[in-house]
Amino acid sequence: MQAFPRGTTATPTAVVVPPSLALPVVESAFPRRLHPYWPRLQEKTRQWLLEKRLMPADKVREYADGLCYTDLMAGYYLGAPDEVLQAIADYSAWFFVWDDRHDRYVVHGRTGDWRRLRHRLHAALDAPRHHLCHPDPLVAAFADSVVRLYGFLSRTWNQRFARHFHAVIEAYDREFRNRTEGRVPRVEEYLTLRRHTFAHWIWTDLLEPSAGYELPDAVRKKPAYRRAALLSQEFAAWYNDLCSLPKEIAGDEVHNLGISLITHEGLTLEEAVDEVRRRVERCVSEFTEAERDVLRLADDLADGTVHGKELSAAVRACVGNMRNWFSTVYWFHHESGRYRVDSWDDRSTPPYVTNEAAGEK
């Protein structure tokens, strides 16, 4: 399904990208498509949010489609079996809800609540079936997502996914402490932390069930493959920072590449914006080089055997979806209601978040 720069809600409108955030190379060289399952995906994820009590019914009706969480995943994992894409989309929606809960705990200084949630998520990741009926809907929904994701590939893949997500949880804990203490991390520290809070390796891991093939370590750890994967994820994280920088400065935030550059490198706001944009654009240009290296790797893997043919096809599917990440992330930032802060009645509180959904009474 070819997708165009128009919103994907029930009443699509042309998307206007501010000139300061426009990336003509992404718009022209990274065509956007959506998985053909997308309309059903949107409907079922909306139902899942209700069933798991992650958002109240009125908020789901008013905001779920406009947040475009399913659009983001349907534009990334093309070729995935419907069941796999559904599990990924539900997990992604959960991730955004978790991120909102984390934010509200920071804003209200709820250190004890965050500590308890952190420990519960670690436990649910290791034993998800034991947490399916947890009283906290966020924990129960996470367990449900993990059980489903663990059903597609081998125990080895599951262990890798768990290892990577344990690191994400700990990175969120570090961000919690930085934000509550008002501490701006230095640039290199921030870049390392961001790779975990943005879950770089989680979204990369999920390329494999989407391709229906678990890649061996010898392929995943090839410099060409890792470089392409990292560049696609760095683009997403830094473009997010570029789009969020003005509002995060206004909100006295501490976690943004631009804020680290201003604080520790002495850059002005304009210089920081230019530097973040330069890094974003470099990710795009360097990815095209890395992509060619991965495609050559795929050619080399096709050694005439059935195994070689299947492995080569899986690598091609994975790097093809890495490419999709550029366009789907780009348009998501200009379509999702998550980033329309200027239209919120209270700029400090997203309208789709309620006290109940954020674990507050």
pLDDT above 90: residue 354? no
Average pLDDT over residues 62-77: 94
Query: Which amino acid, residue 237?
Result: A
pLDDT above 60: residue 309? yes
How many Å separate Cα 37 from the centre of its chain? 20
Structure tokens at 132: 């399916």
Average pLDDT over residues 260-264: 95
Q: How confident is the model at residue 355 (pLDDT cuts 50, 70, 90)?
A: low
Which pLDDT score is estimated for 359? Answer: 52
Alpha carbons within 13 A on the beta-carbon side of 208: 24
Average pLDDT over residues 104-125: 96
pLDDT above 80: residue 4? no
Which pLDDT score is estimated for 348? Answer: 64
Lowest mean pLDDT among 88-92, 271-275, 350-354: 350-354
pLDDT above 80: residue 98? yes
- Kindly list the catalytic residues: 95-96, 198, 338
**CA 322 vs CA 18, 43, 102, 103, 165: distances in Å:** 25, 25, 28, 28, 20
Give the separation between CA 92 and CA 86, rounded to whole angstroms.
10
Give the separation between CA 212 and CA 205, rounded to whole angstroms.
12
Helix H segments across the chain? 24-29, 38-51, 57-59, 65-67, 69-74, 82-107, 111-126, 137-149, 155-181, 187-197, 200-205, 207-211, 217-220, 223-250, 257-265, 269-301, 306-335
pLDDT above 60: residue 357? no
Give the separation between CA 202 and CA 239, rounded to whole angstroms.
18
Alpha carbons within 13 A on the beta-carbon side of 4: 4
Q: How confident is the model at residue 2 (pLDDT cuts 50, 70, 90)?
A: very low
The helix/strand/coil state of 320 is: helix
Average pLDDT over residues 101-128: 96
pLDDT above 70: residue 314? yes
Q: For tokens 């034991």, what's the residue? A: 130
> Could you say which DSSP state residue 127 is in?
S
Q: How confident is the model at residue 351 (pLDDT cuts 50, 70, 90)?
A: confident
The helix/strand/coil state of 14 is: strand
Which pLDDT score is estimated for 250? Answer: 73
Taking all residues of the chain, what is their mean pLDDT, rounded to a whole number? 92
Tens-digit pLDDT profile for residues 277-303:
999 999 999 999 999 999 999 999 999
Helix 269-301 vs helix 223-250: angle between axes, to the nearest 10 degrees?
A: 160
Residue partners of 109: CB distance under 8 A and separation at least 6: 180
Give the separation between CA 151 and CA 86, rounded to whole angstroms.
13
Tens-digit pLDDT profile for residues 31-40:
999 999 999 9
Q: How confident is the model at residue 350 (pLDDT cuts 50, 70, 90)?
A: confident
Tens-digit pLDDT profile for residues 138-181:
999 999 999 999 999 999 999 999 999 999 999 999 999 999 99
Lowest mean pLDDT among 93-107, 211-225, 250-264, 306-320: 250-264
pLDDT above 50: residue 3? no
**Residue 132 burial (10 A CB sphere; 0-12, 13-18, 19+):** middle
Q: How confident is the model at residue 339 (pLDDT cuts 50, 70, 90)?
A: confident
